[in-house]
Structures are given as C-alpha cells and as structure tokens.
Chain A
Amino acid sequence: MNTGQWIKLFVLFVKLAASVFLFIFGSKFKKRTPWIALSASLVSMGLFIAYLPVLSRGANIPLDLNYLPGMGIRFSLDIDWLSFPFLLTEEFVTIIAVVYAIGYVRSDHRTHIFYATLLLFSAGMSGTTLANDVFLFYFFWELMLIASAFLIVYWGSGERRNAVALKYFIITHLGSLFVLIAFVMLYSRTGLDHFSSLPAAFQMDHASLPLIGSLFLIGFGVKMAVVPFHIWLPDTHSEAPMPVTIMLAAAMLSMGTYGILRFPMGFLTLDQFAVFSLPMMVVGVISEIYGAVMALVENDIKRIIAYSSVSQMGYILFGLGTLTYSGIMGARLHVIYHAIVKALLFCCVGWIILAFSERDINALTGVGKKEPLLMACAVTGALAMTGVPALAIFNSEWLIFSSGFQTPYTGLAVLEILASILTAGYLLRFIGKIFFVSENGKNVDLGRVPISVKVATVSLVVITLIAGLFPSPLFQQVANEIPLILGGVW
C-alpha cells in the first residue's frame, strides 16, 4: 500500500481506534476523555486535508482489499471529489460537536462511552463517504444509525426518548432497506459490489431502472427527511443531546444527498434520470414550505430549528431535481453551508437552553438581551439561514434558485423563491421574540455557560463570515467532478 492508501485508511481508522480505545480504557482518563476524542477528530480532519493535494494531482489510487471473494465483496476505500463536500462537512461538524460537548455534556463516569459512541457515529459517516463498494457503504450507513440511536437512548432528554429512538431507528432503517433492495438488485446482476461495476449493472438491468431509481430516492429521501419521510426528524432532533443534534442535523441529513448523488445520479445518464426530475422538484418545494410553516407554528425552540432542517433539505432536493449544472452545484454547496449555519443555530439554541433553562419560545420572550454575545451569534445565524448576501447560504441559494429557471417548470421556481419568505418568517420570529421584544419585567437567572460552548459558537460565526465573503476556493473544489455525473453531460 502506498502513502495515499494509508491516509485513506487512517482518516477512518483514527476515529474507530479512538472509539474502541475510549470504550475500553476511557474510564481511566476522566476529565481528559473529550480531549482524546477531539484530537482523534482533528487528526482525521488533518489527514483528509493533507490528502487533497494528492487528489488534485490526480494521483489517487483506491484502497482495495479482498473481503469475501466468493461473493465479489471487497473492502475498498476511496476519496474523490464527489464525496469531498460531504466528507469535509462531516469531519468539520464532528470537531464542532466534540468541542461543544466538552462543556455541554455533564462529566460523569460514563462520559467516555458518550465520546466513544459519538466517534463511532462520526466514523459511520466518514465510512459512508469513503466506502468504494456497496457492502461497505451499507455497513457504515447502518453504523451511523445504530450509534446515533444509542446516543439518543442513553443521553437523550425527556421521558419519551426510548420510544423516539425506536421510531427513529425503525423509520430510518426502513429507508435503508429500500436502499438495500436496490443494491441487491444491482449487485446480483454482476456479482461484484465495487462501485466501478455498478454502471455495467445498470446497463444490464435496463427494464427495472425506474424501480431501482425510485428505491434509491425513497431510501435516501428518508435519511434526508424530506416530506413525507420527515416524521422521524423533529422528535429525534428535540430529544437528542445537543452535540448529537448538531451532528444529526448538520452532517447526517446530507448523507442522503450523498447517496442520491453517488448512486442514481452518479450512474444513470441524464435521459434515464429525467423521469425523476419533476417529482424531486415538487417534493423539494413541498418540504421547503411544510418545514417552514411547521417552524413558524412550533413553540419549542429546538423543534423550530429542527423543522428548519426539513425545509432546507427541500432546497437541496429541489436543486438536485433540476438536473442542471448550477442546481447540482448549488445543492452540493448548500450541504456545506447548511452544515455550518445549522450547527451555528443549534449551538445558539443549546446556549439559550443552558443560560435560561427554558425551551418554550413564549417563556423566553425578551430574555436574550442579557447575553449580547449570544445575541450577535444567533442573529448572524438567523440572517445567514434566511439567505442574506455575504453570509454563506446566499451563494448556494442563488445557484439553486437560478437553476429552477433553467428548467421548463418556472412556476415551481417562482414558488420556491416565494416560499423562502417563510424561511425569513420563522427565523425572524425566532430571534425577534427572544432578542428584540422588550422584556416583560421578569428577572431571569442566568445559568453558567461553559467556555467550550461559546468557543464553538463564535468560531462558527467566523466560519460563516469567511465562507460567505470568500466563496471562490470552495466553489472550485466543489465544482470538480460534477461534469462526470449523470452520464457526463457537462
């Protein structure tokens, strides 16, 4: 194996190894446990960044080992530009979540298991993006589900957490099973599960293409939590502990996007995929409106931001559904920007909960003024999510909106833009009620907010600004390899 292959292996195995290490020996480290998790995720991120020059040079060789040769199953890892935005998002969000957790999660005798499971969750996401064969992809796809379900069961808040976790698990697993059927149908054609053998399988199975395509879209749609598959999301996000919510909302949802880009869009040609265009756009718009409306009427601040995810995933699905260059580009950028801003908003929500011990927006009226730093962060986050220029999300929304007009369905595109007013609506309600309404005379006791929470939140604000003001490096990287998908139309 050459250095590049080792790096790919280590991007994944650093986190897995740290996780196993923490499971077994973590109890001996007590307060230092989070730092081990943090260094593992930093090393993983560093290795990934260090690999990018190799990728740019085109010197990338997949890691490829035998696993079950009798079934044509291999252990194969690869990084390419298609998975770049997702891997970047996932690595970055893990770091933020771990930093946030240092202060947020009460330190006790089971802390090491929390961080170990968190790393396992993160490794599941890395593995999903790194996997270069179907079996491995499905393994990591399930790993992230199991790890996150266990985090919700054992560290969730609220009495209903067991039921919520079971619902989350069953519904998301049902989605995975759709994906599994599609995989098996493709795989049984060639008997090889390497990604490179999938195009051949698609060609051999021409008759059942619409079926396979729909199976993939439904399966990944469940993970993306677009309407009507979103039912697991609000409960899950509101019951999960905040660092896990950050990882779920900012990183895990976009794994569905990765799946759609990688499998149906990566291997079908534009003509073959064209049937799915309109359904995807319609579902995208419906999700966007539904999520925004629910966020408007919801009173629990955590659920408001959770419904915001449903809405934002609608943008991404719409962008993908346009099947235009700018739409897909916009969707891929939106994955990264949405991750940053959604993480920021959830960080702020966590901060509010820590400071005021309250989740009901009506009880929080006007209290925000006592925390000026929080106010600045939350306002930046809300404005960014609304799509104010110079803050990250504007760039990707612009691309997505403009792509809508390149399709025959301009009506949908107009609806999409009009619906974004709702986004502004719920976010202005959110910040307006908490920070800008005059106080109703109550004296609120300020809870102590740990420094790590503040560090994570403020650094996200900085990153939002940088990403919005200097978009060009990211644009260049994200644009790589888009020409290759959908049968290489661009």
Chain B
Amino acid sequence: MVTRVVLNPFIPIFILGLAATFIFVTAKYIGISNKFMALISAFSFLFSSLYLLFEQQILSFFGHWMPIQQLQVDALAGEFAQDDPGAFLISLIVLGLAFLGSIYNGAYLANESRQRVCYPLILLMVCGIVGLLFTSSLVNVYLFTELMSISAYALVAFRREELQAVEAGYKYLIMGSVASVIMLLGIAFIFLSVGSLDIDAIASFPSGLVTIGGFLIFSGFSLKSAVVPLHAWLPDAHGKAPSSVSAILSGILVEVSFYVMLRIGLSLGLQPGLLGSILLLVSVLNILVGNLMGTAQSNIKRMLGYSTIAQMGYIILSVAVGLRNGSLLAIQSGFFILVTHACAKGLAFLSAGVFNLNVEVHEIKDLRNRTGLPLFPVLSMGLAALSLAALPPFPGFTGKWMVLTSLFQTQDPYRFGVTLILLAGSLIAFGYYLPFLVNLFSSLIHSSDSENTRLNDRISPWLFMPLAFLVIAIVFITIFPQVILDGVAPVAEFLLERMV
C-alpha cells in the first residue's frame, strides 16, 4: 500500500523562505540586477502555487528518482491542516497576486535603491500568509502572523525617505503589535485551560477560558482584518506602501486575517450565531465608515484603502449572514466577493502605481486633463473601479446580487435593515467612484488636439503584463461567474461543517 505523502504547504513555505534568503544574500554580497531579483521571486511564487495545485502529480513524477515515500514527514503532520479548501483558495490568490506583483516590481522598483530588502520582505510576508492559512497549531498561528505582519510593517515603511510612509509603518506596527499581544494572551489562556495548542483538539474541551481565549484571538485578528473601529492603520499603510505591495496588502492580506479568524473562531467552538451577530454589526460599520470616508479622500491610493474597508464590510456581511442562518449561498457569495475584490483591488493598485511611476500622479484631481497618462492603465483602472463600484455586469455587482439574494432567502429578521445599509453603502460609493472615473477618463476624452497632450500608449512590458493578466481575469469572471462560484463552494461547505 502506498501511503499518500503530503508535503503541502511545507514545500512552498520552504521555497519562499529559501528564495528570500538567496535574494538578500546574493544581492548584498554579489549584487544582482533588479530584474533578476524580480524573476527569482516571481519564479518562486509560481512554483509554490503550482506545487500547491499539483502536489500529487509532482510527487509521483519525482518519486521515480527519489525515495520520497520514505521521507520522514511525521514531524510535520501535526502542524498543518491538509483538508482546508479555503486555505488552498486564498493561498493561491496570494501567490498569484505576489507573482504578478513581482513581475511588476521588475520595472516599478527599477529606480529604487533598496530593492534587495523589498523582494525578501514580500517573499517572507507571503511565506507567513501561506503558513498562517494552513497551520493547525495555535503557536504557529502566532509565529506566522508575526512573520506576515512584521514584513508588512517594514514594507509599508519601505520608502523611508518619505516621512509619511515611516509614520504609516510605525502606526501599523504599534497597532499590529497590540493585536499580536492580545492574540498571544488568548493563546496562553487556551493553553492554560486545555494544555494543547492543536486547534482541532481544543474544540473537544470547551471551557470558559477557551471561549475567552477564542474571543481574544478573534479581536486580535479583527484589527489585522481592518474591522471598524480598528481600521485606522489601513488607509495610511495601503496608501503609502509601494503599489505592488499595496495590491497584496489590500487585495488579500486583510481577507487572510479574516479567514483565519473565522476558521479558528469556529474551530474553538464559538457560537456561530453569536459570532455572526457580532460580525453583522461590524460589517455594517465597515460599509458605512469605509464608504463615507472614501468620499472625503483626495489621494488615489488612500481612497482605494477606504474602499477596501468597505469591501471587507461586504465580505464580512455575507459570511455573517451565512453564520447566523447556516446559509451556504451567503458564505459562497462572501468568498465570491473576496476573489473578485482581490482581482479588482489588485488591478486598481497596480494601475495607480503606474500613474505614480510614469507621470507622478498621486492625487485624484491631478488626473484631470493630465497629459501623458499611460493609456492602458487608464483603461484597466477604469475597469477595476467599475467593478469595485459594483456596476453590472462586472463581478462586484454579481457578488452583491448574490449577497442580497441569499439574505432574502434566509428570512433573517434584519434583512431589510441590512439591505438598506448595503445599498446605501453602494450608493455612497458612487459618490467617490463616479468623480474619480470622470477625472480618470477626462484625459482620454477631453484632451485637446495637439500631439503633446495625447495619451502615452507605451508602458514597460513588466508593468503591462500583470495589468493585462488581471484585466483578463476580471473579464473572465464577468463572462463565466459560475466558475468562481463553483470554486468557492467547497470553502463554504468546509466552514459550514465547522459550525456546531
């Protein structure tokens, strides 16, 4: 009998860590070009995601030459959960965004002086995310969260010559550390009461301390997933980080924290109804605060940051409705929004980065009749904004349609109130997306006849490829939304099974 060898996610974590070390060391002592670093990290992200997807095929392929079956994997077996489809889905999105971000960095970071810090930090951050998603031990949860967060703090403050970037990083550091400490306290409570750190084992020893510990962990992760009123760090951090990093931070990192918080909370036996009600309240705040503050922004990336808070609200809302009523469709639609938001927000940040880089545009009003704006990023930013503003038929709208439908199917007593908040939120969102789109397209439509005001239709292929890929992804989801809906179904089922 052949035993099924599972090295996920150990190999991806190992590869990412190795690549980080390799880039840092070679860049420091030998000196390699920016593009080479970008390629190495892109390759490691690509390989990691392929390994996650095709582990069995890869292992049986290498099994012909190597005695993989005899590999001593028992030591790892208890540390990582293998059966979590959500971890698979989200880590694939993370790796995908990081892959695109690395290619993008090949041109985006070309004129920076400290690339050799940036690439390893991104690799370590993603390494932390993948570990965090798969781990089944609370101590690993803490370790990987710290790996992820500390890299993120450093990345936010990457442009250390800019005072605001350092300030944003520092703010993120302070708030994030408090969250980590609270989380650690929760873990300590649980260990005190149960004497084990294995998440699934704890669930069978319910006690008051475990519940308290669970809520402490829960609140720690709430900060990392930008739950209002713990969101203050987000717009600064996402606004000031390099765009390729913001794409990962905003597109998926906050959602990672949310997913882990959800999984741990459910596994520790927190009541789904109670959890759902808390999340419902929080999501309403997120939608209102994110959208209202978004209307007051003048900086493109800060506006996108507030939009992330609002979008987190939609995701949390769907999941909360699902938890309260045990609705599969609601959770499914939450993850549908998660996937589409990752694509759209990633695309928006990457496009905004091209504006920063090529024409030094940071403010929304500077887009107006601006000469020399690159054509393709204008269009891709438009697509991303249309999807984020939830205009049909773009996936953002399909997601909201699903949430609303599932809400009415569940007969939740708060369905009318929640519907009103959700629709009010998307109406307010137009208040900033519409002027933004008008300013964005003004250079496309309004520029006068003379040659020097025409849009610049040449951008570096390193920048173009990630944008084009995400555009294709969004168009694909627009035309075949069913694929994503099917893809997230196992995640929703997995979470529902965890609800006791």
Measured CB to CB, the residues of A under 8 A from B are 66-71, 108-110, 113, 135, 138-139, 142-143, 146, 149-150, 153-154, 162, 165-166, 169-170, 173-174, 177, 180-181, 184-185, 187-188, 191
Contacts and interface: CB of A to CB of B under 8 A. Distances in A.
A176 B468 CA distance: 32
Contact of B435 (A108, A162, A180): A162
A170 B401 CA distance: 19
Interface in B392-413: 392-393, 398, 401-402, 404-409
B405 A177 contact: no
Contact of A110 (B404, B419, B431, B446): B446
A146 B446 contact: no
Given A154-B446, A173-B427, A184-B408, A70 B434 contact: no
Interface string B467-489: 00000000000000110011000
B438 A187 contact: no
Contact of A139 (B393, B419, B438, B444): B393
Q: Interface majority SS on A: helix, strand, loop or mixed?
A: helix
B442 interface: yes
A173 B392 CA distance: 12
A405 to B, nearest CB: 40
Contacts of B232: none
A108 B447 CA distance: 11
B163 interface: no
A154 B423 CA distance: 27
For the complex of A and B, 9 pairs with smallest distance between CB atoms:
A188-B408, A139-B392, A184-B404, A70-B485, A188-B409, A177-B423, A139-B393, A188-B405, A154-B445
A312 B489 CA distance: 51
Contacts of A184: 401, 404-405, 407-408, 419
Given A70-B485, A154-B445, A184-B401, A142 B392 contact: yes
7 contacts: A66-B482, A67-B482, A113-B445, A150-B441, A187-B405, A188-B404, A188-B408
A180 B423 contact: yes
Interface residues of B, number: 31
A29 B168 CA distance: 50
Nearest to B428: A170
Interface of B: 391-393, 398, 401-402, 404-409, 419, 423, 426-427, 430-431, 434-435, 438, 441-442, 444-446, 449, 481-482, 485-486
Contacts of B449: 108-109
Nearest to B442: A154
Contacts of B445: 110, 113, 154
Contacts of B444: 113
A70 B427 contact: no
B392 A69 contact: no
Contact of A71 (B402, B438, B446): B402
Contacts of B391: 142, 146
Nearest to A153: B438
A85 to B, nearest CB: 25
B434 A166 contact: yes
Nearest to B411: A188
Contacts of A66: 482
Contacts of B392: 135, 138-139, 142-143
Contact of B481 (A68, A153, A173): A68
Contacts of A153: 438
Nearest to A140: B392
A108, A113, A135, A188: residue with the most chain B Cβ atoms closer than 10 Å: A188
A69 B405 contact: no
Nearest to A66: B482
A162 B438 contact: yes
Given A70-B482, A184-B401, 19 more contacts: A66-B482, A68-B481, A70-B486, A71-B402, A71-B485, A138-B392, A142-B391, A142-B392, A146-B391, A154-B446, A166-B431, A166-B434, A166-B435, A177-B423, A180-B404, A181-B423, A184-B405, A184-B407, A185-B408
Contacts of A188: 404-409
Contact of A169 (B393, B406, B408, B430): B430
Contact of A173 (B402, B430, B435, B441): B430
Given A142-B391, A162-B435, A170 B430 contact: yes
A184 B445 CA distance: 36
Nearest to B419: A181
A166 to B, nearest CB: 6
Contacts of A113: 444-445
Contacts of B482: 66-70
Contact of A68 (B438, B441, B485): B485
Contacts of A187: 405, 408
A71 B405 contact: yes
A188 B412 CA distance: 13
Contacts of A165: 438
Contacts of B446: 110, 154
Contacts of A108: 449
A174 B428 CA distance: 10
B427 A135 contact: no
Contact of B427 (A143, A146, A170): A170
Contacts of A181: 404, 419, 423
Nearest to A142: B392
A112 to B, nearest CB: 10
A185 B401 CA distance: 11
A67 B484 CA distance: 12
A126 to B, nearest CB: 16
Contacts of B438: 150, 153, 162, 165
Given A69-B482, A70-B486, A174 B405 contact: no
A174 B427 contact: yes
Nearest to A71: B402
Contacts of A146: 391
Contacts of A191: 405, 409
A400 B408 CA distance: 39
